[in-house]
């Protein structure tokens, strides 16, 4: 029986994780589930999984959650620090499926506690990759990637010598606007950006897929997880979303990972690692599929993508700044304050301002490892600068 905790249980990845865990009650005992605003779902799942603890990240939701779980004996807590405390409680396996930079502190708690962290929250690695990997090393924790591309790379690397890897190729569906004419993009609405051609995911990552900010985050995530230089990471548009990633070795061989676009593949792999167990996912019929297509991403359509290599070049806390600026730009788009195409401009202008900012702690690819305070400070400064850029854009 393994003890598991699910952070971000009420979200898209959290729900897919619960789907797999709930099918095997004899194998898993649930320590804690956390969510934010969706109290009905959080309480429902805490009950059906028999969790010991349920936590909402919102202080003001405490009474609502407590009332929903009255009489069950399930402990209830609220607020960001309660989420981090939930992550620190003993567990063998923790899923971090919180969205955004809010996943960083709970993720670090779970890593410090040891055991296995299944990491869907890519923002953790983008903001503080070196710190996260070093903390895992010290604590003896295992980090298993859950992002489908990174799980694919991880699987293709099994049994291989990392020194023989020449390049990583991450595939991208191209998102909602891959076939739109470029002049229509500026008028794309929140609703249009929120519908993904292949994957069912949370709204924020779906919009980030349309803009390719998601893939930019994933390039940085891959660099942090697998230690390859930015120049060895490539992105390829693959509209069918069946090949999730490829690893190229120094003899020219490419190992590809294929599977249906269903997050339960990557989540299930992390849940059953180091073994494999049957998963309730579609088996691909390649004869029926017939053909797989690939093309290079167009820089004009996806200006956000190139920012990943710039961030890696500048190093230090730039990843934290990049993610924070991206979150501000996305919030502004969601609030209909800026246009879809403005998001990349907001982030790139924010980075321009930060590159020359001497108040920003630690820059440079060879600089010392940023500490947690450096990361949090860079996040705060970037959010302020990005908000100013948004304001100026609206004037
Ligand atoms: P969702 O938006 O569907 O879910 C996010 C989860 O985080 C919910 O449980 C939400 O609670 C909770 N949450 C929101 N804000 C906070 C906060 N401030 N503090 C703590 N918890 C919070 O996201 P996804 O499941 O789509 O994505 C989760 C992570 O996984 C992201 O980092 C994403 O990039 C990554 N990922 C997702 C994939 C997918 O298929 N969806 C694929 C690959 C990676 P509530 O709903 O109760 O408000
Ligand atoms: Mg992905």
Cα separation, 353 vs 351, in Å, equals 5
**Fold for the domain defined by 315-394:** Rna Polymerase Sigma Factor; Chain: A (1.10.1740)
User: Given this model, what pLDDT does residue 365 score?
Assistant: 56
For 155-211, what is each residue's pLDDT tens digit? 999 999 999 999 999 999 999 999 999 999 999 999 999 999 898 899 999 999 999
CA of 12 to the centre of ligand 1 (A): 7
* Domain segments of the chain as ranges: 2-145, 151-289, 315-394
Q: Give ion ligand 2 contacts, CB < 5 A.
A: 147-149
Residues of the chain with pLDDT under 50: none
User: Given this model, what pLDDT does residue 152 score?
Assistant: 98
Rg value, the chain, Cα: 20
CA of 367 to the centre of ligand 1 (A): 31
Q: Which residues line ligand 1 (CB under 6 A)?
A: 8-14, 35-38, 57, 83, 97-99, 102, 120-123, 147, 199, 201-202, 204-205, 263
Q: Which structure tokens are listed for 256? A: 């590809």
Closest ligand 1 atom, residue 42 Cα = 47
User: Given this model, what pLDDT does residue 357 score?
Assistant: 78
Strands (E), the chain: 2-7, 28-35, 53-56, 75-78, 93-96, 116-119, 142-145, 165-172, 233-237, 243-249, 254-258
End-to-end CA distance of the chain, in Å? 58
Q: What is the pTM of this model?
A: 0.97
User: Given this model, what pLDDT does residue 360 score?
Assistant: 74
Which residues, 6 or more positions from 65, have their beta carbon under 8 angstroms from its beta carbon? 39, 42, 43, 54, 56, 76, 78
- Domain 2-145 top-level CATH class: alpha beta
């Amino acid at each position: 029986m393994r003890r598991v905790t699910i952070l971000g249980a009420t979200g898209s990845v959290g729900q897919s994780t619960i789907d797999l865990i709930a099918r095997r009650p004899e194998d898993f005992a649930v320590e804690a589930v956390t969510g934010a605003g969706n109290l009905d779902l959080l309480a429902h799942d805490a009950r059906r999984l028999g969790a010991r603890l349920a936590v909402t990240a919102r202080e003001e939701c405490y009474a609502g959650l407590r009332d929903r779980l009255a009489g069950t004996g399930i402990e209830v807590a609220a607020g960001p620090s309660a989420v981090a405390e939930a992550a620190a409680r003993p567990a063998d396996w923790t899923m971090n499926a919180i969205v955004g930079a809010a996943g960083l502190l709970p993720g670090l708690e779970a890593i410090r506690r040891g055991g296995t962290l299944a990491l869907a929250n890519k923002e953790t690695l983008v903001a503080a990759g070196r710190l996260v990997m070093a903390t895992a090393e010290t604590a003896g924790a295992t980090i298993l990637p859950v992002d489908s591309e990174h799980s694919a790379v991880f699987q293709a690397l099994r049994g291989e010598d990392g020194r023989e890897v020449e390049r990583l190729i991450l595939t991208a569906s191209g998102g909602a606007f891959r076939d739109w004419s470029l002049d229509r993009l500026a008028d794309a609405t929140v609703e249009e950006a929120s519908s993904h051609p292949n994957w069912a995911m949370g709204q924020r990552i779906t919009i980030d897929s349309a803009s390719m900010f998601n893939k930019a985050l994933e390039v940085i995530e891959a660099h942090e997880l697998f230690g390859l230089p930015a120049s060895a990471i490539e992105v390829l548009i693959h509209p069918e979303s069946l090949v999730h990633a490829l690893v190229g070795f120094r003899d020219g061989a490419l190992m590809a990972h294929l599977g249906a676009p269903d997050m339960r593949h990557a989540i299930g792999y992390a849940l059953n690692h180091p073994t494999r167990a049957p998963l309730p996912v579609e088996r691909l019929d390649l004869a029926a599929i017939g053909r797989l297509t690939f093309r290079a991403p167009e820089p004009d359509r996806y200006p956000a993508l190139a920012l990943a290599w710039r961030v890696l070049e500048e190093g230090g806390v730039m990843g934290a700044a990049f993610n924070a600026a991206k979150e501000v730009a996305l919030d502004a788009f969601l609030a209909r304050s800026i246009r879809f195409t403005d998001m990349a401009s907001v982030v790139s202008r924010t980075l321009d301002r930060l590159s020359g900012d001497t108040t920003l702690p630690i820059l440079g690819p060879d600089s010392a490892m940023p500490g947690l305070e450096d990361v949090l400070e860079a996040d705060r400064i970037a959010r302020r600068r990005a908000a100013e850029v948004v304001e100026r854009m609206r004037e």
